[in-house]
């Protein structure tokens, strides 16, 4: 009896193309790194999570599932210290979980955190939104969101998301949408904003689950005036290990490099 070959192992990950750094853009705008990350209320390996965030070198971090019930403000501030960032807006009580962090020096011009109408028997939901300016770029809004598992409620939340944007404003929305790209709410949002990963694919596509990624439910969106340079799951980014990605939380992060125009 001859030996039969076993099933093929996972394909090796290809080396990532260089990711544009943050900093001044060629036309007077600003390249900005935005990281979207569901951290599962910090119930997993906090050190691995901090290593992943630091290695991505984000200017802004759109967090989902920040701790909501036990000292949410203190835990948000500890997360900020661990990741070299500061709290900009949102958090446990202000937005029911979504939280915005930013590197020191990000200027907050306004805060638009919003609690959404709650459906009886379902989790409270909200949006963490701040209008910021980084360097000499135009002001822009950034929103972190975590949408409902209930399809009807989720569709209403998708429709409410664009209400976080003022007319004519540049903006970024990042979150855990609990829906696939072919879903009605996702298609609604992608019809109004740029879905950053298919616009400028980089890194990995699927965000859930870390041990066996098979679905894309986390994403970054940007208004049409923002140029998307790269977006995806940072597999293979220097400093980001697969062990840390698996240990940090039950989602994979999405990292986007965006060019915000000049004023």
Q: Which long-range contacts (CB under 8 A, 24 or more apart) does 106-113 make?
A: 106/59, 106/60, 106/132, 106/133, 106/134, 107/132, 107/133, 107/134, 108/132, 109/133, 109/139, 112/141, 112/164, 113/89
**Across 78-103, average pLDDT:** 94
What pTM was estimated for this model as a whole? 0.93
Contact 58, 74 (CB under 8 A): no
Contact 91, 72 (CB under 8 A): yes
Helices (H), 20-60: 46-56
Query: For residue 52, what are its two tokens?
Result: 């992943």
The span from the first CA to the last CA of the chain, in angstroms, equals 73
Cis peptide before 96 (omega within 30 of 0): no
Contact 251, 37 (CB under 8 A): yes
Evaluate if residue 14 carries a pLDDT over 80.
no
Helices (H), 33-117: 46-56, 72-83, 92-95
Q: Which residue in this structure is represented by tokens 């991505």?
A: 56
Q: In the predicted model, what is the mean pLDDT of the chain?
A: 93
Could you give the CA distance from residue 211 to residue 100 in angstroms, rounded to a whole number?
Answer: 26
Q: How many CA atoms lie within 13 A of 104 on its CB side?
A: 3
Name which residue leads in pLDDT, 233 or 7. Answer: 233
Q: Which residue in this structure is represented by tokens 């203190």?
A: 74
Give residue-wise pLDDT tens across range 152-194. 999 999 999 999 999 999 999 999 999 999 999 999 999 999 9
Question: Which pairing describes strands 170-176 and 140-146: parallel, antiparallel, or unpaired?
Answer: parallel
**Across 27-47, average pLDDT:** 96
Segment (H or E) for 256: strand 254-260
189, with CB counted inside 10 A (0-12, 13-18, 19+), is buried
Evaluate if residue 1 carries a pLDDT over 60.
no
Query: For residue 216, what are its two tokens?
Result: 């894309």
Predicted confidence band at 11 (pLDDT cuts at 50, 70, 90)? very low
Could you give the CA distance from residue 159 to residue 153 in angstroms, rounded to a whole number?
Answer: 10
């Amino acid at each position: 009896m001859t030996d039969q070959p076993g099933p093929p192992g996972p394909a090796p990950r290809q080396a990532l193309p260089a990711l544009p750094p943050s900093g001044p853009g060629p036309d007077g705008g600003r390249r900005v790194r935005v990281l979207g990350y569901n951290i599962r209320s910090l119930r997993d390996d906090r050190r691995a999570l901090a290593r992943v965030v630091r290695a991505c070198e984000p200017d802004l971090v759109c967090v989902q599932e920040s701790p909501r019930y036990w000292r949410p403000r203190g835990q948000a501030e500890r997360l900020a210290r661990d990741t070299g960032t500061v709290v900009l807006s949102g958090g446990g009580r202000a937005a029911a979980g979504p939280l915005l962090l930013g590197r020191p020096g990000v200027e907050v011009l306004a805060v638009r955190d919003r609690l959404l109408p709650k459906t009886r028997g379902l989790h409270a939901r909200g949006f963490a939104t701040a209008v910021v300016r980084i360097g000499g770029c135009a002001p822009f809004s950034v929103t972190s969101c975590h949408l409902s598992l209930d399809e009807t409620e989720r569709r209403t939340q998708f429709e409410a998301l664009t209400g976080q944007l003022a007319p004519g404003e540049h903006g970024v929305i990042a979150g855990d949408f609990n829906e696939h790209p072919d879903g009605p709410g996702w298609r609604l949002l992608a019809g109004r904003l740029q879905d950053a990963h298919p616009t400028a694919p980089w890194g990995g596509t699927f965000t859930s689950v870390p041990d066996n990624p098979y679905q894309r439910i986390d994403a970054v969106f940007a208004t049409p005036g923002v140029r998307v340079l790269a977006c995806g799951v940072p597999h293979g980014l220097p400093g980001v290990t697969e062990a840390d990605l698996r240990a940090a939380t039950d989602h994979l992060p999405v990292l986007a490099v965006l060019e915000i125009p000049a004023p």
